[in-house]
Amino acid sequence: MEKYSYEEREGKYFVERFMTEREIESQIELLIDDAGFQPHRFKRSTELSGGWKRKLCCVNAFAGRPQLIVLDEPSSGMDPINRRLTWDFILKRKA
Please tell me the CATH code under which domain 6-92 is placed.
3.40.50.300
Determine phi and psi for 43, rounding to 5 degrees: -80, 150
Give me the residue spans of the domains in the chain. Answer: 6-92
Long-range contacts of 37-41 (CB under 8 A, 24+ apart): 37/6, 40/6, 41/5, 41/6, 41/7
**Nearest of 91, 60, 57, 47 to residue 77 by alpha carbon:** 57
Task: Please report the pLDDT score of residue 16 as a whole number.
Answer: 61
Task: Please report the pLDDT score of residue 10 as a whole number.
Answer: 64
Task: Please report the pLDDT score of residue 80 as a whole number.
Answer: 92
Q: What percent of the chain has pLDDT over 90?
A: 6
Task: Please report the pLDDT score of residue 84 as a whole number.
Answer: 93
Residues of the chain with pLDDT under 50: 1
**Nearest of 3, 10, 4 to residue 57 by alpha carbon:** 10
